[in-house]
Amino acid sequence: MRAVPSCGKAYLMSWQAKLGGFYAILDADDTKLAEDLLSAATVLQLRFKGAGRGDLLRIAGWARRLTAERGALLVVNDDLEVALAASADAVHLGQDDLPLAEARRVAGDRLLLGVSTHTLEQVAGAVAGGADYLGFGPVYPTGSKANPDPVMGLEGLAAAVRAAEPVPVVAIGGITPARAAEVAGAGAHAACAISAVNRAADVRTAAAAMAAPFRR
């Protein structure tokens, strides 16, 4: 696995260590929400479907400052150009986004590359293609997508972790603070959640509960 890319800061922990725990998704132009998420998360991914590039660049600018202050990783969803322009740590690609090989050609070692996977075949392909980390799921039923992929369950997650080794796996899909311990027990390096944390009555408490099972 690669070291922290040249665009990153001189963090006290390696990026692999930072990837472990709560992988937060910022889906609103809201600095308070970002600060609340970063009270426990060591990764903040920007996910703004349909946002204009100008707005995304502006959000990425202040998010880069916040994550740098807190020693967290900044990930941009889908948009390689914005990730590079914002000096993000990583870009996260879906199965229908820019191919992994092309992303590596453009980004070189300036960005870590994350890839969403939903089957063991996709896991194998992403690992062979040089992905730095994987998202895998949905582990549980999820309402965050109009047409979700088939639910893989904890056994599917554990199989993906074994198949990806030593590439870190982030569990995605239907994960809540109450389920975080199960996900950690299946071997995931981190757990990702959106509505279960971002829409919680107390975001900081929910974020802390997501992170707790991964602390060793």
Q: What is the structure's pLDDT at 146?
A: 61
- Can you list the domains of the chain with their CATH numbers? 15-214 (3.20.20.70)
User: Does 199 participate in catalysis according to the annotation?
Assistant: no
Strand 21-26, strand 90-93: pairing: unpaired
- Cβ 206 vs Cβ 178: under 8 Å: no
Residue ranges of the chain with per-residue pLDDT less than 50: 1-12
| Active-site position among 18, 64, 87, 116 | 116
Amino acid identity at 145? K
Closest CA to 133 of 41, 48, 15: 15
Q: What is the structure's pLDDT at 10?
A: 41
| Active-site position among 32, 145, 215, 216 | 145
pTM of the full predicted structure?
0.91
| Active-site position among 47, 70, 110, 204 | 47
b/e for 131-161, b at 16 or more Cβ within 10 A?
Answer: bbbbbbbbbbebebeeeebeebebebbbbbb
User: Does 47 participate in catalysis according to the annotation?
Assistant: yes
Q: What is the structure's pLDDT at 14?
A: 84
